[in-house]
A and B are shown apart, each in its own frame.
Chain A
Amino acid sequence: MKKVVEAAEGEVFDIELEADILEANRKLAEKNSELLRKYDVRAIDVMGATGSGKTSLIEKMVQTLIGKYRIAAFKGDLTTTIDAERIERHGAEAVPITTGKECHLDANLVGKALERINLNEIDLLFIENVGNLICPAEFPLGSDWRIVVVSVTEGPYMVIKHPFIFMDADVVVINKMDLADAMEVDVKKLEEDVKRVNPKAAVAVTNCRSGDGVKKVIDALRL
């Protein structure tokens, strides 16, 4: 809605624009969400830094859930399709979304990817975001849940350094617990930090290589 408030002698216009740049993405996200609901597909947005274990988590979750659900995965990456192939090995359909240079997925890209899959043939959709703890939080994609993966190898302060992305998380996965001692990272402290920033988020401590703790993530989503 726009309205010309003032036109002083036909020379200066004051225009109330009220145009929200982020609103455009939020609207597209809402559209994605409606489309997914229509086909009864539940979607999980997985965010986290590069190398935190997002793909490993999805691989392990797909391994466990593939008997129960028909699964597809969107895999956001700058250029390669390596990770999409990792996920496909476990029997899920994987669609790579290469962003080129963008540091995050947005609802528009996800909407385009949704056109590429047959939503009648899936029940569960993983959307792996680009490795980044900042920008993805700004762009909801239309998923039902958002998971943030943080690993102990990123150091002991990741949660309090990036509090805002954790505020949007339904589940926080603290990964690579087997390396906590070597990294001298106190996992309990990381858990406390998450609870401080976002008391509603479920926390799961995992080793996504071996699969330890992944069941807790699945339980938290009631899958």
Chain B
Amino acid sequence: MTTQIVENVLREAKEHNAKEVSDVHLVIGELTFLGLEQVRFSYKVITEGTMMENSKLFIEMKDGVVKCGSCGYEGSFNYEDDPMYHVPIPTLLCPKCSGTVDIIGGRECLIKSIKLVVDNGR
């Protein structure tokens, strides 16, 4: 996934005749399976020796969004806290009415924006 992110940014940078990429802004949804630590680590490794080598990586997390079929609730989804397991368990039960909800957001893996330093030969 990180490779694809880097490839996309490099392609864009080339199109603009950039000599360096200074910033990359990502938006990652809560419901994707991307670990931030891994993304940061692999980003560092993959960008080595490219014009992204010294770029700053900004990652914005986006909450999962659900919509309830019964009461129309729209918002973040519920986590059930079970002291037995030490971790909150996500649930598709509506936090308002206990109906069932559908996932409508939180699956993003978005390259939101990038900042390029362009050598325009002037």
> Contacts A10-B120, A163-B90 known; A17 to B111 CB distance under 8 Å?
yes
User: Is B60 an interface residue when CB atoms closer than 8 A count as contact?
Assistant: no
> Contacts A11-B117, A199-B100 known; A19 to B92 CB distance under 8 Å?
no
Taken together as a complex, chains A and B put the C-alpha atoms of A88 and B107 apart, in Å, by: 36
User: Is A39 an interface residue when CB atoms closer than 8 A count as contact?
Assistant: no
User: Is A186 an interface residue when CB atoms closer than 8 A count as contact?
Assistant: no
How many residues on the B side are at the interface (Cβ–Cβ under 8 A)?
A: 37
User: Contact check: which of B4, B82, B89 meets A21 at CB < 8 Å?
Assistant: B4
Q: Are B33 and A199 in contact (CB under 8 A)?
A: no
**Residues in B neighbouring A11, C-beta threshold 8 A:** 117-118, 120
Q: Are B33 and A17 in contact (CB under 8 A)?
A: no
Q: Are B92 and A198 in contact (CB under 8 A)?
A: yes
Q: Are B16 and A21 in contact (CB under 8 A)?
A: no
**Residues in A neighbouring B87, C-beta threshold 8 A:** 160
Q: Are A167 and B92 in contact (CB under 8 A)?
A: yes
Could you give, for residues 100-113 of chain B, a 1 whenever the CB lies within 8 Å of some chain A CB and a 0 otherwise?
10010001111111
User: Is B116 an interface residue when CB atoms closer than 8 A count as contact?
Assistant: yes
**Residues in A neighbouring B114, C-beta threshold 8 A:** 14-15, 17
**Chain A, Cβ-Cβ closest to B66:** A167
Docked complex: A110-146 residues within 8 A CB-CB of B: 134-135, 137-138
> Contacts A10-B120, A21-B4, A138-B33 known; A197 to B115 CB distance under 8 Å?
no
Q: Are A22 and B33 in contact (CB under 8 A)?
A: no
CB distance from B109 to the nearest CB of A (A): 5
CB distance from A39 to the nearest CB of B (A): 28
Q: Are A134 and B120 in contact (CB under 8 A)?
A: no
Q: Are B100 and A22 in contact (CB under 8 A)?
A: no
User: Is B18 an interface residue when CB atoms closer than 8 A count as contact?
Assistant: yes
Q: Are A14 and B115 in contact (CB under 8 A)?
A: yes
User: Contact check: which of B4, B33, B92, B100 meets A135 at CB < 8 Å?
Assistant: B33
Q: Are A10 and B113 in contact (CB under 8 A)?
A: no
Q: Are A160 and B89 in contact (CB under 8 A)?
A: yes
User: Is A196 an interface residue when CB atoms closer than 8 A count as contact?
Assistant: yes
Could you give, for residues 68-98 of chain B, a 1 whenever the CB lies within 8 Å of some chain A CB and a 0 otherwise?
0000000000001010010101111100000
CB distance from A10 to the nearest CB of B (A): 5
Interface-centre pick from A21, A163, A164, A200 (highest chain B CB count, 10 A): A21
User: Contact check: which of A10, A138, A200 meets B122 at CB < 8 Å?
Assistant: A10
User: Is A12 an interface residue when CB atoms closer than 8 A count as contact?
Assistant: yes
User: Contact check: which of B80, B113, B118 meets A196 at CB < 8 Å?
Assistant: B80
**Chain B, Cβ-Cβ closest to A20:** B110
Chain A positions near chain B (C-beta within 8 angstroms): 2, 5, 7, 10-22, 134-135, 137-138, 157, 160, 163-164, 167, 193, 196-200
Query: Known contacts A20-B110, A21-B8; can you find 12 more A-B pairs with CB under 8 A?
Result: A5-B113, A10-B122, A12-B116, A13-B118, A15-B12, A15-B114, A20-B111, A21-B111, A163-B89, A164-B31, A199-B93, A200-B92
> What are 11 residue pairs bridging A and B, where the CB atoms are less than 8 Å apart in the complex?
A10-B122, A11-B117, A12-B118, A15-B113, A15-B115, A20-B111, A21-B111, A135-B33, A196-B89, A199-B93, A200-B100
**A-B interface, 6 closest residue pairs, ranked by CB to CB distance from nearest:** A13-B116, A21-B109, A17-B111, A22-B109, A19-B111, A20-B110
